[in-house]
Amino acid sequence: MACIEAHGLRKVFGNNVALDGVNLKVEQGRILGLIGPNGAGKTTALNAIVGLTPYEGTLNVLGRDPWSQRDQLMRDACFIADVAVLPRWIRVSQLLDYVAGVHLHFDRRKAENFLAKTTIKHSAKVRELSKGMVTQLHLAMVMAMDAKLLVLDEPTLGLDILYRKQFYDSLLNDYFDGGRTIVVATHEVEEVQHVLTDLMFIDHGHVVFSCSMEELEARYFEVMVQPDNLEAALALKPIHQRQVFGRTILLFEGAEKRQFEELGEVRTPGVADLFVAVMSRQPGREQGAVQ
């Protein structure tokens, strides 16, 4: 059974359609990156998955309906909304006591070991910690919960690059073990792309692109074209084109790699470039208007 399965997921706020018939299937052990511009519906989708918002359509997470069974679901799922959600008044020791008291699968010693590697003191209040330390604390709590699914919504928003890198390193090295599933929504595409196993672009409440990283490597090529070959290359119908230092870089989909090798230097496109290419083909978006 899939870890997350959604069919025709739809959510409307007033006149704004946040999710418009999203279909989604995440198998156990995958790390899915949910990427989209602001207001694309990422947060709404994640909120539906962890039972924070009602929805139309069907959604099944770890065999449960999140909206009606949020408290049961959260025994096996964790959620980090963003860096500012830990209550500012609470002490680190109180937080440990509380979570240990209400969470069945919380390993307090594990959280303490993780905190020991940081400069966070048990007597400190969250309000006294820096933004980066609050994220470390939240991550320590989540990593000590033996969960099957971890949902992250912009978990490193507003952090400096050192904390961001540390966050994803910890997640991969200390947490991810192949049995867990992670869904992460973020803008920081370049930092997460080496972490992901699957990729999903979302825009205006629609899934506009979805593939695994293996597929990405097999199907998409970025070619830095020699000026002489430009015309021949354009004839192969690139899905996107951009200029870097006077060189033309073309993005192709679904052809044989060797076909491009005579045209110039071929490599796998970065997720960010692919994102721009996909988004600029969306109706109503100017080329290059995104990010």
Partner 1 sequence: MNTQSNTTAPMLGAQSVAPADIPALRQFRLLVQREIWESRSLYIAPLAAAGLFLLGFAISMIFFPGRLRAAVGSARLHNVINQPFDIVAVLIMGVTFLVALVYCLDALYSERRDRSILFWKSLPVSDTATVLAKASIPIVFVPLFAFALTVAMQLLMLVLISAVIPGTGVTAGMLWNQLSLFHGWHVLFTHLVTGHGLWYAPIYAYLLLVSAWARRAPFLWATLPLIAVGGAEKIAFNTSYLAAILAGRIAGGPSVDGAPAGTNMDAMTPFTLTQLMSSPGLWIGLLVAAAFLAGAIRLRRHRGPI
Interacting residues with partner 1 (CB under 8 A): 47, 50-54, 70-75, 78-81, 84-91, 94, 97-110, 138, 146, 148, 177, 179
Q: Closer to partner 1 at the Cβ: 96 or 225?
A: 96
Nearest to 238 by CA among 191, 287, 187, 197: 287
Nearest to 58 by CA among 121, 119, 123, 5: 5
Least distance from C-beta 284 to partner 1, angstroms? 28
**Residue with token string 């604390």:** 137
Least distance from C-beta 71 to partner 1, angstroms? 4
- C-alpha to C-alpha distance for 221 and 202, rounded to whole angstroms: 21
**Residue with token string 């991810």:** 176
Q: Closer to partner 1 at the Cβ: 170 or 259?
A: 170
- C-alpha to C-alpha distance for 107 and 116, rounded to whole angstroms: 15
Least distance from C-beta 153 to partner 1, angstroms? 9
Q: Closer to partner 1 at the Cβ: 67 or 282?
A: 67
Distance, C-alpha 238 to centroid of its chain: 27
Kindly state the helix (H) or strand (E) to which residue 142 belongs, with its residue range.
Answer: helix 131-143
Least distance from C-beta 79 to partner 1, angstroms? 4
Q: Closer to partner 1 at the Cβ: 88 or 165?
A: 88
